[in-house]
Amino acid sequence: MSDQSSSAAHHNGKLYIETVGCQMNMLDSELVVAALRKDGFELTDDPKLADTLLFNTCSVRENAEHKIYSSLGRLKYVKRTKPQKVIGVMGCMAQKDQDLIFKRAPHVDLVVGTGQLAEIPRLIRETRATTSRQQQKAVSLGRRDGSVAAVSSSFQSYDPLRDPEMRPTPFQAFVRIMIGCDKFCTYCVVPTTRGPEQSRPPSQILSEVKVLADQGVKEVCLLGQTVNSYKHTENGRLNRLSDLMYGINEIAGIERIRFVTSYPKDMTDDLLHAVRDLSKAVKYLHVPLQHGCNEQLRLMKRGYTVDDYREMMHRINDIVPGCSVSSDFIVGFCGETEEAHQLSMAAIREFRFKNSFIFKYSEREGTKAATMLPDDIPEETKKRRNNEVLAVQNEVSEEDNAEFIGRQVSVLVEGPSKAAEKKAARGEEVVAGDPLATQLMGRSECDRIVVFDGNPRLAGSTARVEIRDCTGTTLIGSIVTREVQHGSNGLLPIVS
Contact residues: ligand F3S, CB under 6 A: 21-22, 24-25, 58-60, 92, 189-190, 193-194
Which residue in the set 115, 202, 288, 493 belongs to the binding site for ligand SAH (CB under 6 A)?
A: 288
DSSP letter, residue 45 = S
* Distance of alpha carbon 455 from alpha carbon 458, whole angstroms: 6
With CB under 6 A as the contact rule, the residue among 72, 93, 123, 190 that binds ligand SF4 is 190
Per CB under 6 A, 196 contacts ligand SF4: no
Nearest distance in Å: CB 300, ligand F3S: 16
Q: Is 359 in the site for ligand SAH (CB under 6 A)?
A: yes
CA distance 387 to 399: 18
**451 touches ligand SAH (CB under 6 A):** no
- Of residues 305, 278, 310, 270, the one with CA closest to residue 291: 305
Q: Give yes or no for residue 114 binding ligand SF4 (CB under 6 A).
A: no
Which residues, at least 6 apart from 56, have a Cβ–Cβ distance to it below 8 Å?
A: 17, 18, 19, 20, 21, 25, 28, 29, 32, 90, 91
* Least distance (Å) between residue 307 CB and ligand SAH: 19
CA 351 – CA 327 distance, rounded (Å): 10
**Residue 364 binds what, of ligand SF4, ligand F3S, ligand SAH, none (CB under 5 to 8 Å, by partner type)?**
ligand SAH
Tell me how crowded residue 405 is: count the other CB atoms within 10 A of its CB: 14
Residues 193, 173: Cα–Cα separation, whole Å: 23
Q: What's the count of helices (H) and strands (E) in the chain, helices before strands? A: 18, 21
Q: Which does 92 bind (CB under 5 to 8 A by kind): ligand SF4, ligand F3S, ligand SAH, none?
A: ligand F3S
Measured from the CB atom, the residue of 124 and 188 that comes closer to ligand F3S is: 188
Describe the strand order of the beta sheet including 14-19 as a list of residue ranges.
42-43, 14-19, 52-57, 86-91, 110-112, 136-138
Q: How far apart are CA 287 and CA 292, in angstroms?
A: 13
Q: Is 188 in the site for ligand SF4 (CB under 6 A)?
A: yes
CB of 25 to ligand SF4, least distance (A): 13
Q: Which stretch binds ligand SF4 (CB under 6 A): 65-73, 181-189, 423-431, 438-446?
A: 181-189
Distance in Å, CB of 380 to ligand SAH, minimum: 17
| Backbone torsions φ then ψ of 389, nearest 5 degrees | -65, -45
Q: Which stretch binds ligand SF4 (CB under 6 A): 45-53, 188-196, 312-320, 446-454?
A: 188-196
Half-sphere exposure of 267 (CA within 13 A, CB side): 29
Residue 191 contact, options ligand F3S, ligand SAH, ligand SF4, none, Cβ 5-8 Å cut-off depending on partner type: ligand SF4
In the beta sheet, which residues pair with residue 240? 231
Q: Across-strand partners of 358? A: 329
- Choose among ligand F3S, ligand SAH, ligand SF4, none what residue 330 binds, the Cβ cut-off being 5 to 8 Å by kind: ligand SAH
Q: Computed from CA positions of residues 326, 288, 171, 58, in that sequence, does the dihedral angle turn out positive or negative?
A: negative
Q: Smallest distance, Å, CB 58 to ligand SAH?
A: 9
Residues pairing with 239 in the sheet: 232
> Minimum distance from CB of 73 to ligand F3S (Å)?
20
Contact 303, 295 (CB under 8 A): no
> Rounded to whole angstroms, what are the CA distances from 321 to 32, 264, 279, 314, 364?
40, 18, 14, 10, 39
| Rounded-to-integer distance, Cα 447 and Cα 467, Å | 14
Question: Residues 368, 327: contact at Cβ < 8 Å?
Answer: no
Size of the site for ligand SF4 (CB under 6 A): 10
SS3 assignment, position 154:
helix
User: What letter represents residue 483's amino acid?
Assistant: E
Site for ligand SAH, residues 202 to 241, rule: CB under 6 A: 225-226
Nearest residue to ligand F3S, scored by beta-carbon proximity: 21
From the CB of 379, what's the least distance to ligand SAH, in Å?
A: 13
Q: Does 178 bind ligand SAH (CB under 6 A)?
A: no
- Any contact of residue 185 with ligand SF4 (CB under 6 A)? yes
Nearest alpha carbon to residue 277 among 323, 233, 239, 312:
323
Q: Which of 176, 364, 382, 385 binds ligand SAH (CB under 6 A)?
A: 364
The residue among 66 and 482 lying less far from ligand F3S, judged by its C-beta, is 66
**Contact window for ligand SF4 (CB under 6 A) among 41-49, 178-186, 277-285, 312-320:** 178-186
Report the distance separating Cα 207 and Cα 162, nearest Å: 13
Stretch that binds ligand SF4, among 4-12, 29-37, 184-192, 350-358 (CB under 6 A): 184-192
Residue 193 makes contact with ligand SAH by CB under 6 A = no
The contact pattern for ligand SF4, residues 211-240, with x = CB under 6 A and - = no contact, is: --------------xx--------------
361 near ligand SAH, rule: CB under 6 A:
yes
Q: Is 198 in the site for ligand SAH (CB under 6 A)?
A: no
Question: Can you name the residues that pair with 438 across neighbouring β-strands?
Answer: 454
CA distances from 217 to 211, 248, 302, 442 (A): 9, 12, 35, 15
Q: Which of 315, 233, 310, 241 is nearest to 271 (CA)?
A: 241
Applying CB under 6 A, among 16, 158, 174, 187 the residue interacting with ligand SAH is: 187
**Does residue number 39 form part of the binding site for ligand SAH (CB under 6 A)?**
no
- Write out the residues near ligand SF4 by the rule CB under 6 A: 181, 183-185, 188, 190-191, 225-226, 263
Residues that bind ligand SAH (CB under 6 A): 60-61, 187-188, 190, 225-226, 261, 263, 288, 290, 328, 330, 359, 361-362, 364
